[in-house]
Amino acid sequence: MQRGTRLGGTRLGGTRLAGKTALVTGAGQGVGRGIALALAAEGAAVVLAGRTEGKLKDTAGEITERGGRAYTVVGDVGERDDVDRMVAETVREFGGLDVLVNNAQSSVQRRLAETSYDDVELTYRSGPLATFHAMRAALPHLRESRGSVVNLGSSAAVQGEATFAAYAMAKEAIRGLSRVAAREWGPYGIRVNVVCPAALSPAAEDYLAAHPQKAAELARDIPLGRLGDPEADIGRAVAALVSDDMAYLTGATLMLEGGRTLIG
């Protein structure tokens, strides 16, 4: 097990999340990085969790350069002990937990007839099971803070896109789990919502570069005409979602995909 690395500083910018602590999984790149940066910009102390230490430190460096506070924890959300440690280190370092963002997720892309049990197991371990473990570990602390959970879904799952069988299964399982948690945890003051982003993550960029026809289809299918920016479009929306501005919203799925699911 690798221990966390602390990076510190003072808050600058927004204050909607001042005094709050957030844990973001898969925070080293893409949407997770964008969410972490946006939460920090609103004043939250952010714990960055993921498998690649260098990427986490890079994100933490960006936060501290802007005057925020960050702490990194290296681990694999597919391993329950690692998930428990992520939550424990968050609470130990910053004294509590107000926001949990379950972003990390492995993806396998094959047609349904070619999808194996191993493909499904990988996506489930890194997705709904990891989300379940993190939520269970975080529950005592979220009850104390009357906190907020944001789980990541997918418009590809909502639309049932071809070649996303294992991934879609995992993402829709996360949405079902989130709705149950919203109902059961609402009396504790805990809100649980899902966001389905369409953003230019490194994985998305690689996929679109390898599938130019798909890139052209996406451009046509998104009413706003572009994929979202991980920080400006996705991260800032998540920051608003976990703030008091959205204190009466729970059990919802927020489609952050430029209107793509309106078509077809």
Active site residues: 167
Which one-letter DSSP state was computed for residue 242?
A: T
Sort strands 69-74 and 45-50 into parallel, antiparallel or unpaired.
Answer: parallel
- In the Cβ-directed half-sphere of 84, how many Cα atoms lie within 13 Å? 4
Going edge to edge, which strands form the sheet with 99-102? Answer: 5-7, 69-74, 45-50, 21-25, 99-102, 148-152, 191-197, 253-256
- Reported in sequence order, the residue ranges of 76-197 that DSSP labels E, i.e. its strands, are 99-102, 148-152, 191-197
Which one-letter DSSP state was computed for residue 233?
A: I
CA pair distance 111, 174, nearest whole angstrom: 21
